[in-house]
Structure 1
Amino acid sequence: MYVEVYIPSVSSEPYPLILFHGGGQTGVNWMGTPDGRMGWLDVFLRMGYTVFVVDVPARGRSAYHPDMDGPLIRMSADLTHCYFADHKGDWPAAGLHTQWPGAEERDERGYDKNYDELCSAQVEYVTPAYQQKLVQDAGAALLKRTGPAVLITHSMAGPYGWAIADLYPEHVKAIAALEPSGPPFGGISISSGKQRPYGIADIPLAYHPELRMPEWRREDKFCPPDVNDTTAWLQPEPAGKLVNLEGIPVILITGEASYHSPFDHLTAAFLKQAGVSVDFVPLAEKGIHGNGHMMMLEKNSDVIAELIHHWLQEHLY
């Protein structure tokens, strides 16, 4: 796994941050915004954190071996635009998306030049379950070098945080999960169908007692329940507990206008039922409005980084 480490000239925070990008992305996600502002790498450095930025295995600057790693997946520019940069999606809050740093200048397809900047950093990626196992192993190896650290994950990287903490819990001090892959057991919206057979991950996690899957997930035909029926997405009681994640504070952050806004509460509820200490933070409830899925790149990205910083201060010291 390709890793870069940045050390502030004045270090004030005892635990480093490890930034894990989402699907179709690389570590470039954290290094700057499409409209040229500082990325979270520099924002957190200025706060006094040592910051590790990765390209997950088989992605970007980490070697990809076709004979070992298998076929690649990609998202089209139109699909990416709909879910990341537009305000015309088919989920209820899509029209509230005001924080994308759009530009007046457009190309022949109608994309603004800042969206083209985002697209220029999009890459192909391997299948989720295989990627999660690669990152779990590489992430644990990285933690052996860094010592105790905070994991910041985005989107497809959500399961990376759960899987790394499950393998190496004594070295994960906290997890900030930005719209992690969800909801439990299945995909809706941008990706649909049976996914995450371990609830919040596609690879095994340690549950005690054993994970109990809801009956609808066992059916041959994927027919998920309504997202407003939270209990339907949970384990039947008595629920298995994520024993290695107990005691690790988690903040799960959701943008007001994101396609995740209809269902991230289900992921939070699943974590709580499984014994995880999670603070579910819809940004709008903090007075932070208009964010889509790519909140670390949007116009108010610094405000969200500051929210994470204050949460870490409250939960780690």
Structure 2
Amino acid sequence: MAGIEIAEIGSFHVGGGLTKLEGMPPRDRVSTPGGPVYHVDQNGEIVAGQMYVQFHKLASPRARAPLLLWHGGGMTGACWESTPDGRPGWQTFFLRAGFNTYVCDAVERGRASWAPYPQIYPEAPYFRTAKDAWEDTFRFGPRGSWHPDPTQRRTYPGLRFPVDAFEAFLAQGVPRWACNDARTLAAYDALIRRLDPGVIVLAHSQGGAFALAAALNAPERVRAVVVLDPSGAPDPATSDAARLCGVPHLFIWGDNWQDNDFWRRSRPASEHWRDALLAAGCDVTHIDLPQRGITGNSHALMADDNSNDIARIVLDWLTARGLEG
């Protein structure tokens, strides 16, 4: 396989700002084992609400806009870099296709860091359990199919996710807070404003909800939106879908959501927004993979064993709109 000629790799933080901690108790800290004790005053200014962005710029990009890759809830940009079973991820796929890429760790995730609670975040974080990931969020198996013993786990028939790498996938998870939607969207908005006008946003799950909202906040700067199994969307009763008539949208959905309580309750929001976009005359494509005869895909579409086939669907859709090559 041919190499990728990269001109620049770098990173930056965007969003957030100084905020002051007050009323914090003093603490004693040891920097290294056996080192001296330092008396630490925890009061003062820190930066909170920032997002981490890593970019790869090609020597000769062919795409007409950079691709922003936004992860889902309790995840980081690592989900785009490599699959849990060690295959190249969508970052590599789209670099090979000629796109400059910007992979994000949203507010509170990964290298974006997080802030004290309840001083800044008003509540404690929560952690996704293996059972929740297996049976609910990622739809690897039906209710009652999870077991700590890998030999006792059951999957949906024909599941495309490589279950031997489930523990590696679970290791990508990070704690998350339920109180930072406004901070997170503000950071995504700041990223879109920072880059040259004309970006493509490709987002997964919770990131899809942010992508749909961010496009609405800056339709003149977004060339296209691609969302995979989005877990939310703007409300047509309070948001004007007609603002997005110049922004094509692609919705892609995996399999086995009908009997999943979380997704039965979450999916209608994106369908209502899709319908509002269509009613406003926007360019909207909705792909339900099973209806195309592509069955067994989990919620982790970028990690399933046919992930490159799904990436190719996205690439063909972008190409048809003049955004590649």
TM over 0.5: yes
Matched, 1:82 2:135: yes
SS at 1:279's partner residue?
Answer: strand
- TM-superposition CA deviations, 1:190-222 (whole Å, max 9, x none): xxxxxxxxxx24xxx7x6xx53xxxxxxxxxxx
CA distance in 2 between counterparts of 1:311 and 1:135 reads 28
SS at 1:244's partner residue?
Answer: helix
Q: 1:131 maps to what in 2?
A: 180
CA distance in 2 between counterparts of 1:56 and 1:145 reads 16
CA distance in 2 between counterparts of 1:263 and 1:279 reads 19
CA distance in 2 between counterparts of 1:165 and 1:263 reads 20
Structure 1 stretch displaced more, 132-141 or 14-23: 132-141
Shift of 1:8: 2.6
CA gap of 1:295–1:261, structure 2 versus 1, over 3 A, is farther
Q: How does 1:17-96 map to 2 (within 5 A)?
A: 17-66=67-116, 67-70=119-122, 71-83=124-136, 84=138, 86-89=140-143, 95-96=156-157
Shift of 1:266: 6.0
CA distance in 1 between counterparts of 2:269 and 2:191 reads 30
Q: How does 1:230-309 map to 2 (within 5 A)?
A: 241-258=240-257, 259=260, 260=263, 264=267, 267-274=270-277, 275=280, 276-309=282-315
Q: 2:44 maps to what in 1?
A: none
SS at 1:290's partner residue?
Answer: coil
- TM-superposition CA deviations, 1:256-288 (whole Å, max 9, x none): 234447974662343222535321100123332
- TM-superposition CA deviations, 1:102-142 (whole Å, max 9, x none): 22xxxxxxxxxx11101111111121xx4332232212221
Counterpart amino acid of 1:81? W
CA gap of 1:263–1:23, structure 2 versus 1, over 3 A, is closer
Q: 1:98 maps to what in 2?
A: 159
TM-score, normalized by length of structure 1? 0.72
Counterpart amino acid of 1:270? W
Structure 1 stretch displaced more, 287-296 or 260-269: 260-269
Q: 2:9 maps to what in 1?
A: none
Tell me which protein shows more strand as a share of its residues.
2
CA distance in 2 between counterparts of 1:56 and 1:122 reads 13
SS at 1:180's partner residue?
Answer: coil
Counterpart amino acid of 1:257? N
CA distance in 2 between counterparts of 1:8 and 1:306 reads 20
**Aligned-residue identity in percent:** 28
Q: Give the total of aligned pairs.
A: 252
- TM-superposition CA deviations, 1:86-106 (whole Å, max 9, x none): 33248xxx8345201122xxx
SS at 1:174's partner residue?
Answer: strand
Gaps of 5+ in 1: 104-113, 183-199, 212-239
- TM-superposition CA deviations, 1:22-51 (whole Å, max 9, x none): 011001010111110001111111111001
CA gap of 1:263–1:166, structure 2 versus 1, over 3 A, is closer
CA distance in 2 between counterparts of 1:22 and 1:266 reads 16
What RMSD over aligned residues (CA atoms) do the two structures have, in Å?
2.4
Structure 1 stretch displaced more, 161-170 or 294-303: 161-170
| 2:139 and 2:256 in contact (8 A); partners too | no
SS at 2:133's partner residue?
Answer: helix
SS at 1:176's partner residue?
Answer: strand
SS at 2:285's partner residue?
Answer: strand
Matched, 1:176 2:226: yes
| 2:76 and 2:105 in contact (8 A); partners too | yes
CA distance in 1 between counterparts of 2:142 and 2:231 reads 22
TM-score, normalized by length of structure 2? 0.71
CA distance in 2 between counterparts of 1:133 and 1:40 reads 27
Gaps of 5+ in 2: 1-50, 145-154
| 2:211 and 2:225 in contact (8 A); partners too | yes
| 1:99 and 1:299 in contact (8 A); partners too | yes
- The structure 1 residue matched to 2:66, chosen from 16, 23, 26, is 16
Matched, 1:152 2:205: no
- The structure 2 residue matched to 1:121, chosen from 160, 172, 178, is 172
CA gap of 1:265–1:288, structure 2 versus 1, over 3 A, is farther
CA distance in 1 between counterparts of 2:215 and 2:276 reads 17
- TM-superposition CA deviations, 1:136-164 (whole Å, max 9, x none): 22122212332211111111112211221
Whichever of the two has the greater Rg, that structure is 2
CA distance in 2 between counterparts of 1:172 and 1:308 reads 16
CA gap of 1:305–1:283, structure 2 versus 1, over 3 A, is same
| 2:254 and 2:299 in contact (8 A); partners too | yes
